[in-house]
Amino acid sequence: MKLKLRTQPTASDRNQRLTTPRRKISVWISLLASAAFTLAGSAYASVTLDFGAHTKNTTGGFPGSGIAIGYMANGDTTNPGGSSPVANGANANASGFYSQVAIGDHATATGKDAVAVGGNIYNGGATATGDYSVSFGTQSTATGTGAIAIGGDGSAGASAAANNALAFGAKSKASADNAMAMGADAQAGNANDVALGANSKTAAVQATTNVTIDGVTYEVSGIDPTSTVSTGDAGSERTLTNLAAGGVDATSTDAVNGSQLNATNLAVEAQSRKTNALGNSTATALGGGATYDPSTGELTSPTYTVYGQQTTGVDNTVAALQNNAPLQYSTAAAPTTGLGANGAPVSNDVTLVGPDASAPVTLHNVAQGVGDTDGVNVAQLNSAISNAVINVLPTD
């Protein structure tokens, strides 16, 4: 097999076009000089092109069907039965047990069936050292099994440094198993974490086992999270838009959107209006200067005049009405005992009470009694006495 090369005409050739027939130079060069095709029977064929490029079986087994194109390109196989690695680019390295692919200067794919695409003329080509890993972009690296790193720039490419880690974007990093970082400089550093958007970063997952509202503790679902999703970073938060309404019940683990929270706010506001109306009406009903403050929910105590004295508070007023009443339930042994247990009268007796509990009390403005059990006033008593005296005087 031969390689055909055609030279381009020089400036001198162009100047001589009118006097000298155009020269076409066809150079046939043996493939052993610039390219080598190694055949082993009819099943294997390897290709090397450029200085130092090599595709050999380092175990001494079958030579395989590797391709190495570029200065010092390495398409060696370590599989005794041979394999088909592809190394294309100066110092590209696709050596290994299976069919690795390294394309680009200094690209390296040494994991089983790994793929690295992206070169740099000095160093820092794409690197895929994890088994079945994929790396695309200058200085991108995929070192975990099944890891994928896509994105690169002149300083740092994407990095997927754990099993099944996914990193997309320049400087993105997925450094834990099954983590995903999507966006330039996004970082997912915990297992199963997801960092969405440029510069987003995940943190350790925080579990919430219950919530306490107004002193009451409520149980919640989803109390044992295994990972977290981040859409930003401290000081660089993002809003989440176009989110469908999530289910709301005791077992739901859905996210809720703004309209659902708005419905909750409307319900709270309606309840607040009812509470304020109740507070105001209660203050009005109490009288005594009582007021209700809707901002704090506090109701100021009323002040009443009881038997000529100022009394503040409903409880104090009730106590004053009971304990300072001029007429109280009593017993013969304790004429001013007030009410008994549960507010029930202690007897069928009553006692008039004044400022001095040991002094008698005068009862004024007493109507004439008419019934057998009615009290009588002084006028009735005097009349009765007069009648009695008349009845006992001697007659002529």
> What's 88's domain CATH number?
2.150.10
Does the residue 306 lie in any domain?
no
Residue 319 has pLDDT above 70, yes or no: yes
| Residue 387 included in any domain | no
In a domain, 15, yes or no: no
Q: N- to C-terminal Cα distance for the chain?
A: 181
2-13 pLDDT, tens digit each: 233 333 444 444
Q: For residue 214, tell me if it sits in a domain.
A: no
In-domain check, residue 273: no
Does the residue 392 lie in any domain? no
* Domain stops at, among 158, 177, 196: 196
**pLDDT for res 363:** 84
- For residue range 350-393, list pLDDT tens digits in order: 888 777 777 888 888 989 989 988 889 999 889 888 888 766 65
* Last residue within a domain, chosen from 152, 170, 196: 196
- On whether residue 246 sits in a domain, the answer given is no
pLDDT of residue 20: 38
pLDDT above 90 (res 338): no
The mean of the pLDDT values for the chain is 85
Domain count, the chain: 2
Domain limits for position 87: 26-196
Lowest mean per-residue pLDDT among 149-158, 184-193, 253-262: 149-158
Q: Residue 204 pLDDT > 60, yes or no?
A: yes
Q: Are 303 and 320 in contact (CB under 8 A)?
A: no
* Span 53-107, pLDDT tens digits: 999 999 988 877 899 999 999 999 999 988 999 999 999 999 999 999 999 999 9
Which of 167, 196, 225 marks a domain boundary? Answer: 196
Answer yes or no: is 212 within a domain: no
pLDDT band at 302 (very low <50, low <70, confident <90, very high): very high
pTM above 0.75, yes or no: no
